């Protein structure tokens, strides 16, 4: 097995090498406090009463018995929220904190209880009597799209949640001119996000006009805004405190749950802190899942395998509420024009409401679906044309633009740096691709094959409305530093990067910086942890805030030395005159001088990101043009699989390599572990193992035994190769790490299965039974041909 | 959430048995690895739980030439897996255990709990049946010994009378030239088998198959003996073709469930594969013995 080499990049004191995580000690010792760990005197336990029907009208809710149960302090229903509805954006506000008139998915919240303990709260939920009129439901897109199908939302005809129709260039002409045109349909399943920490919340009202909310949220400024609107409070009176988060991967921890609103409402009603911890079962039956999608890709190529045009049609099951579906469908379509040159492109997509739990963002959001379809189809095309998979990718891959130049895709996506060719070359070399060619390894019932894929992802995602990240740096008089961020580390390591950037700029040590996690009473506003945006945008804020502090201190130093500020530098906590380093003082001395010299300064620096906002303009969702990202990462991946040809069981071997162009790896260790754990591993999970199986809105495998989540045995360590492109639009050249590489594993695996066995598995995951029947059909086809 | 219950923790078999006779509605809990799952799902809510995990007298593995193997009901899976005696005389048991769940579950779950849970997908029962195991059941009234094969009644139902508990598993010393093997279809190591097969083959001095047992897991509502497949092998000099035929016959005898892990048709196909695989290994072992 190839191993990841530890390397040092650039000429920095802290960045460009393996940086230990600032939160590691607290997490390992158990000191780290997650939302569920918060306890307050007088605290009550909340519980959600859930609907036993996936689609039903609520006729009546009788809470009187529950209210009479000793120990119950308050009960709330949707009516208490006064008609408040919320959603991802203004026009898509279609969800209530607790359902009022209708439930639209199984176990949707209809009421909530606060009681002195968990048992009493559970018992009280059982005592709430809800009268329902069950309604016929729609449980897959084929049912949802049928004329006359039951409507999930009465005001949304045809159950259409989102549709976009984009057209760039002239695909029909390009298809007509193509040497080969292929059309294939692929399928991706609903998946769990996979956080082990179930969402938890504690809320209390210090007085009737202020609310405090402590919850497992990766984007705490979502509840900040939503609770302000819901409870009619100015933003200044909404205090969201962010504990340590036990991972997210998109979706539920960005967004709100019935438990979030209910805890706040119950706390308001009782005047006491209320805590609600969601069970793993509730997570697996009601939390947001990755969209199941059906993707039909039609692609035309020249005789040499040069891409002429792609027409992608995506159909998705959006579930009960809109949530982030408009963004999902945008992301599924808008970057099909990367990482290969594609002169003509058309995209039609339809996202339907169903009576399933809502679908939403998940790591590799959107691109995961379309890149899987397109990169498998590319191998099919290569096979038909007699081209090698690496060769066809190299031919079509976007070249790295010359410094100062920009590659513009047909839908106006702008790429300043693109390392995909280098990624492909390095991976091919690392796995010895050429030598493998044509060699098929079979040992008994085991067939081995290797597959290749490439991918991209947008970093520093920019949506409509607020996009900037900000930071405040306070220098304490002893030289220690507080870093106040609006950004949230959900496990990806961003707290470490923020501290590292600030320390690098200030010329001090990582240990000198103490990071304050989000507390909206004190920290600056931030959009949130989604769309691979934190390192790129909050990282720029960190840099700007540190530069602001540094300038203030350099001015003080310049006065002391009798030189100009630009003549002074700070490194390794030494402040010195550049031209004569013997004239120096310590960092502590400089800070003390600044703070104590009459009248004394208060050193506070601030900075915010500018790159996300105005550089190339915002993307237009309805037309599919423009930049959803600040910049774009690239990946190539090769995976070897072992297929048991008698059973259909597919396994990864430890022979796999991922080359990743994240611009510049600020923390090599974080990039590698993200690519291994958060991309390779999750990619393997999506390719081979994970799928929620459903029956009429009911999740059949809502436990971690029947829902197959691979462990380290199933997804051994992959080798990571860093490819550096130093993007001008990221802090210190950085782009996102590992959402792109999350998208390359599924096509690489499916291509590898084909390489091993000669069968294409077009719907994920490649569970044994599917592979088995495909192999059997192929065998029979062969026999049939021999007979003729 | 688990409903409330009253909890007892006897330290001796006798104490346990008198509690059992006193509280007819009581449920035994050993390692809780299976029971807690069904309690959390509220498949049932017993009023009394008798926790026998602390009865150390039922945690043992003994082997005597004449009597064969004796395993106490409260022996953890992991102890069986790692036992030198078992690895020497019954390697199939150690291999089977190694594929059960995770180390954590094997450390705490007991062999008796596994068998008494009566899950037709469980691995030990088919292997025990292939090894002609007997079970010792104890009650205040005394003890009885029954064939493992008679123990499983239906899905999650075993032949325990009220007031009775399993105390010991008894495995006779195998005849000379016996080979036993177990294999199952796992997506991930430690999975309950989507299909499992335990096969025991006894050869006579001329190398002919004198006796054969083929027992399947997750192929019916109880561990299933594939009688027709066994008959196919008995009295013959075995070869690959015969083993494959046995697989086909066993497949026809199976009545497997359909669930999220596979359809009934797929499972039937897999019976063919796993009977053949386990039989081939058993045969190899019988020849080497
Ligand atoms: C994640 C996971 C994976 C698993 N994978 C597998 C697998 O691959 N293969 C497999 O075979 N099993 C598997 N199991 C099941 C597990 O091996 C056993 O069922 C478990 O070890 C039961 O033992 P226990 O001591 O925990 O029993 P408990 O859960 O305490 O009891 C189980 C049942 O047996 C009864 N009982 C227990 N002891 C006695 C006794 N001495 N007399 C009478 N009744 C008794 C109890 O009343 C209860 O009904 C898995 C379990 C888990 C949690």
- The verdict on the CB of residue B165 being under 6 Å from ligand 1 is yes
Which tokens is B10 given?
């006897």
Which has more confidence, A618 or B134?
B134
Report percent pLDDT > 70 for chain A.
Answer: 99
Closest residue, chain A, to B276 (C-alpha): A646
Among A residues 333-372, those touching chain B with beta carbons less than 8 Å apart:
none
CB neighbours (10 Å) of residue A330? 25
Which tokens is B197 given?
């097969």
A692 at B interface, C-beta within 8 A: no
Name the H helices within A133-170: 141-145
| Residue with CA nearest ligand 1 atom 5 | B101
At residue A599, the pLDDT reads 86
pLDDT at residue A588 is higher than 60: yes
pLDDT at residue A784 is higher than 90: no
Residues A615 and A613: their CA atoms lie apart, in Å, by 6
> Residue A731 has what DSSP assignment?
G
Residues A167 and A214: their CA atoms lie apart, in Å, by 45
Contact A769 B262 (CB under 8 A): yes
A646 at B interface, C-beta within 8 A: yes
**Residue B209 · residue B219 · CB < 8 Å:** no
pLDDT at residue A29 is higher than 70: yes
CA distances from A677 to A76, A139, A428, A674, A747 (A): 41, 33, 22, 5, 18
Give backbone dihedrals phi and psi of A95, rounded to 5 degrees, phi first.
Answer: -125, 145
Contact A768 B263 (CB under 8 A): no
- The verdict on the CB of residue B100 being under 6 Å from ligand 1 is yes
Place of tokens 């309604």: A135
- Picking from B192, B260, B270, the nearest residue to A647 by CB comes out as B270
Indicate the pLDDT class of residue A101, thresholds 50, 70 and 90: very high
Q: What is the pLDDT of residues A727-754, one digit of tens each?
A: 999 999 999 998 998 999 999 999 999 9
Residues A258 and A264: their CA atoms lie apart, in Å, by 10
- Picking from B187, B259, B263, the nearest residue to A649 by CB comes out as B187
**Residue A260 · residue A181 · CB < 8 Å:** no
| Contact residues on chain B for A767, CB-CB shorter than 8 A | 187
Find the helix or strand (DSSP H, E) in which A655 lies.
Answer: strand A650-661
Distance of CA A462 to the CA centre of its chain: 14
Beta strands in A169-301 (DSSP E): 180-188, 200-207, 210-215, 238-241, 274-277, 293-301
Specify the fold of B6-51: 3.30.43
Which of A353-376 are b and which e, b meaning 16 or more Cβ less than 10 Å from the residue's Cβ? bbbbbbbbbbbbbbbbbbbbbbbb
CATH architecture of A470-529+539-609: 2-Layer Sandwich (3.30)
pLDDT at residue A772 is higher than 80: yes
Residues A278 and A36: their CA atoms lie apart, in Å, by 9
- Picking from B1, B260, B269, the nearest residue to A772 by CB comes out as B269
Question: Residue range A307-327: average pLDDT?
Answer: 97
For residue A718, give every residue at least 6 positions away whose Cβ sits within 8 Å of its Cβ, in sequence order, or none: A637, A656, A657, A658, A675, A676, A680
CB neighbours (10 Å) of residue A664? 23
This prediction has a pTM of 0.96
Beta strands in A125-251 (DSSP E): 129-134, 160-168, 180-188, 200-207, 210-215, 238-241
**Residue A730 · residue A459 · CB < 8 Å:** yes
**Residue B244 · residue B269 · CB < 8 Å:** no
Q: What is the ipTM of this complex?
A: 0.96
Which of A258-267 are b and which e, b meaning 16 or more Cβ less than 10 Å from the residue's Cβ? bbbbbbbbbb
Mean pLDDT of chain A, nearest integer = 95
Question: Residue range A287-315: average pLDDT?
Answer: 97
pLDDT at residue A115 is higher than 60: yes
- Among A48, A54, A52, A53, CA closest to A78: A48
Helix axis angle, A258-270 to A221-230, nearest 10°: 50
Closest residue, chain A, to B269 (C-alpha): A647
A vs B: CB pairs below 8 A:
39
Contact A706 B260 (CB under 8 A): yes
For residue A684, give every residue at least 6 positions away whose Cβ sits within 8 Å of its Cβ, in sequence order, or none: A639, A652, A710, A714, A715, A745, A749
**Residue A483 · residue A542 · CB < 8 Å:** yes
> Residue A680 has what DSSP assignment?
I
Question: Residue range B266-286: average pLDDT?
Answer: 98
Residues B88 and B112: their CA atoms lie apart, in Å, by 22
Q: What is the pLDDT of residues B227-246, one digit of tens each?
A: 999 999 999 999 999 999 99
Which tokens is A192 given?
């769990």
What is the dihedral sign for C-alpha B202, B207, B210, B211? positive
Contact B187 A772 (CB under 8 A): no
Q: How many CA atoms lie within 13 A of A788 on its CB side?
A: 5
Q: How many CA atoms lie within 13 A of A756 on its CB side?
A: 32
Place of tokens 């304490």: A476
**Residue A484 · residue A498 · CB < 8 Å:** no
Domains B59-171 and B179-288 belong to one CATH topology: no
Residues A271 and A205: their CA atoms lie apart, in Å, by 6
Strand partners of residue A725: none
Name the H helices within A646-739: 668-673, 682-684
Give backbone dihedrals phi and psi of A731, rounded to 5 degrees, phi first.
Answer: -65, 125
Contact A649 B261 (CB under 8 A): no
- Picking from A119, A646, A710, the nearest residue to B188 by CB comes out as A710
pLDDT at residue B133 is higher than 80: yes
Give backbone dihedrals phi and psi of A530, rounded to 5 degrees, phi first.
Answer: -155, 170
Which tokens is B288 given?
């080497």
| Contact residues on chain B for A766, CB-CB shorter than 8 A | none
**Residue B107 · residue B31 · CB < 8 Å:** no
- Ligand 1 centroid, distance to B115 Cα (angstroms): 7
As a CATH number, domain A35-135+198-245+251-286 is 3.90.1170.50
Indicate the pLDDT class of residue A463, thresholds 50, 70 and 90: confident
| Contact residues on chain A for B186, CB-CB shorter than 8 A | 649
- Ligand 1 centroid, distance to B108 Cα (angstroms): 9
At residue A611, the pLDDT reads 79
Indicate the pLDDT class of residue A1, thresholds 50, 70 and 90: low
Strand partners of residue A574: A571, A586
At residue A788, the pLDDT reads 61
As a CATH number, domain B179-288 is 3.30.390.50
CATH architecture of A289-462+617-781: 2-Layer Sandwich (3.30)
| Residue with CA nearest ligand 1 atom 19 | B114
At residue A598, the pLDDT reads 81
Could you give the 3-state DSSP secondary structure of residue A25?
helix
Q: Mutate which of B25, B34, B75 to test ligand 1's pocket (most atoms within 8 Å of Cβ)?
A: B34
Peptide bond into A740 cis (omega under 30): no
pLDDT at residue B287 is higher than 60: yes
**Residue A267 · residue A343 · CB < 8 Å:** no
- Ligand 1 centroid, distance to A722 Cα (angstroms): 47
How many residues belong to chain B?
289
Per-domain residue ranges of chain B: 6-51, 59-171, 179-288
- Ligand 1 centroid, distance to B190 Cα (angstroms): 14
At residue A9, the pLDDT reads 94
- The verdict on the CB of residue B35 being under 6 Å from ligand 1 is yes
Contact A649 B186 (CB under 8 A): yes
Contact A646 B273 (CB under 8 A): yes
| Contact residues on chain B for A705, CB-CB shorter than 8 A | 192
Mutation target for A interface from B3, B5, B187: give the one with most A CBs within 10 A: B187
Where is average pLDDT lowest: A317-331, A408-422, A613-627, B265-279? A613-627
**Residue B233 · residue B242 · CB < 8 Å:** yes
Residues B131 and A210: their CA atoms lie apart, in Å, by 70
> Residue A501 has what DSSP assignment?
H
| Angstroms from A776 CA to nearest CA on chain B | 11
At residue A715, the pLDDT reads 82
Closest residue, chain A, to B2 (C-alpha): A119
Report percent pLDDT > 90 for chain A.
Answer: 91
**Residue B247 · residue B276 · CB < 8 Å:** yes
- Among A165, A136, A155, A159, CA closest to A147: A159
A228 at B interface, C-beta within 8 A: no
At CB < 8 Å, which residues of chain B contact A? 1, 185-189, 192, 194, 259-263, 266, 269-270, 273
- The verdict on the CB of residue B173 being under 6 Å from ligand 1 is no
At residue A466, the pLDDT reads 84
Q: What is the pLDDT of residues A496-546, one digit of tens each?
A: 999 999 999 999 999 999 999 999 999 999 999 998 999 999 999 999 999
Mutation target for B interface from A703, A769, A772, A776: give the one with most B CBs within 10 A: A769
Closest residue, chain B, to A774 (C-alpha): B266
Residues A284 and B74: their CA atoms lie apart, in Å, by 33
As a CATH number, domain B59-171 is 3.30.465.10
**Residue A298 · residue A346 · CB < 8 Å:** no
- The verdict on the CB of residue B122 being under 6 Å from ligand 1 is yes
Q: What is the pLDDT of residues A52-77, one digit of tens each?
A: 999 999 999 999 999 999 999 999 99
Contact A772 B266 (CB under 8 A): yes
pLDDT at residue A612 is higher than 80: no
Cβ burial, residue B274 (10 Å; 0-12/13-18/19+): buried
């Amino acid at each position: 097995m190839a191993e990841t080499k530890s390397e040092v990049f650039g000429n920095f004191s802290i960045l460009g090498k393996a940086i230990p995580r600032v939160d590691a000690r607290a997490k390992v010792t158990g000191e780290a406090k997650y939302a569920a760990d918060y306890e307050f005197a007088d605290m009550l336990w909340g519980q959600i009463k859930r609907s036993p029907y996936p689609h039903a009208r609520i006729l009546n809710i009788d809470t009187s018995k529950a209210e009479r149960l000793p120990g119950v302090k308050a009960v709330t229903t949707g009516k208490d929220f006064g008609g408040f509805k919320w959603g991802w954006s203004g026009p898509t506000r279609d969800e209530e904190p607790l359902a009022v008139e209708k439930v639209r998915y199984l176990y949707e919240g209809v009421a909530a209880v606060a009681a002195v303990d968990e048992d009493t709260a559970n018992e009280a939920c059982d005592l709430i009597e809800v009268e329902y009129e069950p309604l016929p439901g729609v449980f897959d897109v084929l049912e949802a799209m049928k004329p006359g199908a039951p409507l999930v939302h009465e005001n949304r005809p045809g159950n259409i949640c989102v549709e976009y129709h984009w057209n760039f260039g002239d695909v029909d002409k390009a298809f007509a001119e193509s040497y080969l045109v292929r059309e294939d349909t692929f399928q991706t399943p609903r998946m769990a996000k996979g956080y082990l920490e179930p969402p938890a919340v504690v809320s209390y009202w210090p007085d009737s006009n202020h609310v405090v909310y402590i919850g497992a949220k990766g984007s705490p400024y979502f509840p900040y805004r939503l609770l302000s609107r819901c409870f009619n409070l100015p933003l200044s009176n909404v205090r969201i405190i962010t504990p340590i988060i036990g991972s997210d991967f998109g979706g539920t921890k960005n967004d709100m749950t019935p438990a979030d609103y209910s805890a706040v409402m119950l706390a308001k009603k009782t005047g006491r802190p209320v805590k609600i911890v969601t069970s793993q079962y509730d997570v697996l039956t009601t939390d947001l899942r990755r969209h199941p999608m059906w993707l039909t890709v039609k692609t035309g190529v020249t005789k040499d395998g040069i891409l002429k045009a792609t027409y992608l049609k995506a159909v998705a099951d959006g579930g009960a509420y809109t949530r982030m579906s408009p963004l999902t469908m945008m992301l599924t379509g808008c970057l099909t024009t990367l990482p290969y040159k594609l002169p003509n492109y058309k995209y039609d997509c339809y996202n339907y409401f169903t009576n399933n739990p809502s679908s939403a963002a998940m790591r590799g959001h959107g691109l995961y679906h379309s890149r899987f379809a397109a990169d498998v189809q590319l191998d099919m095309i290569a096979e038909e044309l007699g081209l090698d998979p690496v060769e066809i990718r190299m031919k079509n891959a976007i070249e790295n633009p010359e410094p100062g130049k920009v590659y513009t895709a047909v839908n106006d996506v702008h790429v300043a740096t693109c390392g995909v060719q280098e990624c492909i070359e390095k991976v091919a070399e690392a796995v010895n691709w050429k030598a493998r060619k044509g060699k098929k390894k079979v040992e008994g019932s085991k067939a081995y094959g290797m597959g290749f894929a490439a991918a991209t992802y947008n970093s520093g995602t920019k949506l409509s409305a607020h996009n900037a990240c900000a930071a405040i740096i306070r220098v304490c008089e002893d030289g220690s530093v507080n870093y106040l961020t609006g950004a949230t580390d959900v496990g990806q390591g961003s707290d470490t990067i923020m501290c590292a950037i600030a320390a690098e700029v200030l010329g001090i040590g990582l240990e000198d910086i103490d990071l304050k996690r989000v507390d909206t009473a004190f920290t600056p506003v931030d959009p949130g942890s989604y769309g691979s945006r934190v390192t790129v945008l909050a990282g720029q804020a960190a840099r700007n805030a540190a530069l602001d502090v540094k300038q203030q201190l350099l001015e003080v130093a310049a006065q002391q030395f009798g030189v100009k500020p630009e003549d002074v530098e700070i490194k390794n906590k030494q402040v010195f005159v550049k031209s004569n380093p013997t004239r120096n003082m310590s960092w502590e001395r400089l800070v003390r001088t600044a703070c104590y010299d009459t009248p004394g300064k208060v050193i506070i620096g601030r900075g915010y990101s500018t790159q996300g906002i105005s550089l190339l303009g915002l993307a237009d969702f309805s037309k599919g043009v423009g930049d959803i990202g600040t910049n774009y990462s690239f990946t190539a991946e090769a995976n070897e699989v072992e297929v048991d040809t008698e059973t259909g069981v597919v396994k990864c071997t430890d022979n796999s390599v991922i080359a990743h162009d994240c611009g510049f790896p600020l923390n090599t260790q974080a990039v590698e572990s993200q690519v291994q754990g958060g991309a390779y591993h999750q990619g393997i999970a999506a390719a081979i193992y994970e799928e929620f199986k459903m029956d009429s809105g009911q999740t059949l495998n809502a436990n971690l035994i029947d829902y197959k989540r691979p462990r380290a045995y199933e997804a051994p360590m992959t080798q990571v190769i860093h490819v550096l492109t130093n993007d001008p639009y990221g802090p210190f050249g950085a782009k996102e790490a590992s959402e792109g590489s999350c998208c390359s594993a599924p096509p690489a695996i499916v291509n590898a299965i084909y390489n091993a066995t000669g069968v294409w598995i077009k719907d994920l995951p490649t569970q044994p039974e599917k592979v088995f029947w495909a192999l059997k059909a192929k065998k029979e086809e062969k026999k049939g041909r021999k007979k003729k | 959430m688990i409903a409330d219950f009253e909890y007892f923790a006897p330290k001796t078999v006798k104490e346990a048995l008198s509690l059992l006779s006193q509280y007819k509605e009581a449920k035994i809990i050993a390692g809780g690895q299976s029971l807690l799952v069904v309690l959390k799902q509220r498949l049932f809510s017993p009023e009394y739980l008798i926790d026998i995990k602390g009865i150390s007298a039922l945690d043992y593995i003994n082997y005597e030439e004449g009597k064969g193997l004796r395993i106490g009901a409260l022996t953890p899976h992991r102890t069986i897996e790692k036992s030198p005696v078992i690895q020497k005389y019954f390697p199939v048991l150690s291999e089977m255990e190694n594929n059960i769940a995770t180390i954590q579950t094997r450390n705490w779950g007991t062999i008796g709990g596994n068998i008494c849970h009566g899950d037709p997908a469980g691995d030990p029962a088919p292997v025990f049946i292939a090894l002609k195991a007997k079970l010792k059941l104890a009650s205040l009234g005394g003890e009885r010994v029954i064939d493992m094969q008679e123990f499983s009644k239906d899905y999650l139902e075993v032949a325990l009378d009220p007031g009775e508990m399993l105390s010991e598993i008894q495995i006779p010393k195998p005849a000379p030239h016996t080979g036993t093997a177990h294999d199952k279809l796992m997506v991930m190591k430690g999975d309950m088998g989507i299909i499992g097969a335990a096969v025991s083959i006894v050869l006579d001095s001329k190398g002919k198959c004198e006796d054969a047992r083929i027992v399947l897991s997750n192929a019916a509502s109880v561990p299933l003996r594939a009688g027709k497949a066994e008959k196919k092998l008995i009295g013959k000099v075995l070869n690959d073709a015969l083993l494959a035929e046995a697989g086909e016959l066993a497949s026809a005898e199976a009545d497997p469930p359909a669930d999220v892990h596979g359809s009934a048709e797929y499972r039937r196909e897999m019976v063919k594969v796993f009977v053949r695989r386990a039989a081939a290994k058993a045969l190899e072992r019988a020849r080497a013995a």
